[in-house]
């Protein structure tokens, strides 16, 4: 049985972090072997990270700005990290999995994301848990789950990172991305 705490904003985003870390661990185990699996897993990581980022930009960072004393500073830093990771993901998509640069870019992405996750889980999330009501966190968790279903699946570094842009452009961009994914078979195991 799930409790409201299981589906609140922090729990939902933490679960995403764990799922991505599992994929990272598998990518590290694969190394430079099994290129087909590495390509598929890299695609899956990018899909999940983009969806997760859109959700954070639409709901987590606005909540941090509103509720935390240093929320603007935290949100600005996290958004800058998202921008860097999105550039890395875009670059990674453009590199053939056989190219040595693919491993370098993938390792850079894993470092960026792991650092970002650590900051969120040890700094942002505890502060948010202290400053937000459980009802507010549950409401935000529902919104995050909903937007992830509509979010883009490919990095779009030129898209504005504002919450309004993510809520308005995200679903349209997501629809186009999912159509492209269906046609190409991207993200399917």
pLDDT tens readout for residues 40-76: 999 999 999 999 999 999 999 999 999 999 999 999 9
The first and second tokens of residue 75, run together, are 């949100």
Domain membership of residue 39 (yes or no) is yes
How many domains in the chain? 1
Print the domain residue range for 42.
Answer: 7-184
Answer whether residue 67 is part of any domain: yes
Question: Per-residue pLDDT tens for 27-38?
Answer: 999 987 889 999
pLDDT per position as a tens digit, 15-24: 999 999 999 9
Query: Mean of the pLDDT values across residues 152-175?
Result: 65
Q: CATH number for the domain including 35?
A: 1.20.120
In a domain, 1, yes or no: no
189: in domain: no
Mean pLDDT of the chain: 87
Task: Compute the distance between CA of residue 27 and CA of residue 103 in angstroms, rounded to an integer.
Answer: 10
In a domain, 106, yes or no: yes
Measured CA to CA, the distance from residue 56 to residue 113 in angstroms comes to 13
Domain-embedded: residue 135: yes
Query: Which of the four pLDDT bands, split at 50, 70 and 90, describes residue 4?
Result: very low
pLDDT of residue 174: 61
């Amino acid at each position: 049985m799930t409790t409201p705490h299981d589906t609140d904003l922090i729990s939902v985003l933490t679960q995403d972090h764990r799922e991505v870390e599992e994929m990272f661990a598998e990518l590290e185990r694969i190394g430079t072997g099994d290129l087909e699996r590495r390509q598929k897993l890299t695609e899956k990581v990018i899909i999940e990270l983009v969806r997760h980022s859109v959700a954070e930009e639409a709901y987590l960072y606005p909540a941090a700005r509103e509720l935390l004393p240093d929320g603007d500073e935290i949100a600005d830093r996290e958004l800058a990290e998202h921008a860097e990771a999105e550039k890395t993901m875009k670059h990674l998509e453009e590199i053939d999995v056989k190219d040595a640069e693919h491993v370098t870019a993938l390792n850079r992405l894993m470092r960026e994301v792991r650092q970002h996750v650590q900051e969120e889980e040890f700094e942002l999330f505890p502060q948010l848990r202290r400053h937000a009501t459980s009802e507010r966190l549950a409401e935000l968790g529902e919104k995050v789950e909903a937007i992830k279903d509509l979010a883009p699946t490919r990095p779009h570094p030129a898209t504005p990172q504002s919450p309004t842009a993510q809520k308005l452009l995200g679903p349209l961009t997501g629809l186009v991305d999912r159509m492209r994914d269906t046609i190409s078979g991207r993200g399917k195991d």
